[in-house]
Amino acid sequence: MQEKMVKAEFDFDDFMTQSKMVASMGSMAGVAKMLPGMGNMIDNSQLSQVEKRIKRSEAMICSMTKKERANPELLLKDRSARSRLTRITKGSGMAFEEGVAFMSEFQKMRTMISRMSKQAGMGGNPDDADADLEPAYAGGGGGNRNARRAAKKKGKKGGKGGGMGFGR
């Protein structure tokens, strides 16, 4: 699991494994009560929403093929991502928008795990963590982070100082 985290290869099977481990600990309210200082801050309506979201995620993952579970890129960046997601959302009894939201959450979680593993000194390339955050079916094709940075720098004026700050 650690190797997958370092390489940002966290897939839907790993997500299901993590969800089942959390579920085996009991309800989210029970888990939150075990955390120091969280006992008084628990909002049961929010926790029930989290539990519903986990169940919906499981339903979506169960509607995927083994190939899609093992390779999230098929649902994030592949040309057929939109039609695959449409099939999956119909199979899980959800709206397409809910599927898009799930994929966005999954991608954010995957990025967060990758960043955390890099900050913990497990290796990897830190620039890879932010690359191509927006899925193909959401209208973006991702992009090259370094190219965007270079274009932004190129747009800034050179010369003395940067802007209209102090002393001008």
What's 7's domain CATH number?
Answer: 1.10.260.30
Residue 157 lies in a domain: no
**Which of the residue ranges 15-19, 103-107, 142-146, 150-154 has the most confident prediction, judged by mean pLDDT?**
103-107
Question: H-helix or E-strand containing 24?
Answer: helix 12-24
Residue 21 lies in a domain: yes
Judge if pTM exceeds 0.85.
Answer: no
Q: What is the pLDDT of residues 65-118, one digit of tens each?
A: 999 999 998 998 889 999 999 999 999 999 999 999 999 988 888 888 778 777
Burial label for 152, CB within 10 Å (0-12, 13-18, 19+), is exposed
Question: Quick one: which of 113, 124, 125 has its CA closest to 18?
Answer: 113
Residue 62 lies in a domain: yes
Residue 132 lies in a domain: no
Residue 167 lies in a domain: no
Residue 151 lies in a domain: no
Residue 162 lies in a domain: no
> Rounded to an integer, what distance in angstroms lies between the CA atom of residue 59 and that of residue 92?
5
> Rounded to an integer, what distance in angstroms lies between the CA atom of residue 113 and that of residue 110?
5
Residue 90 lies in a domain: yes
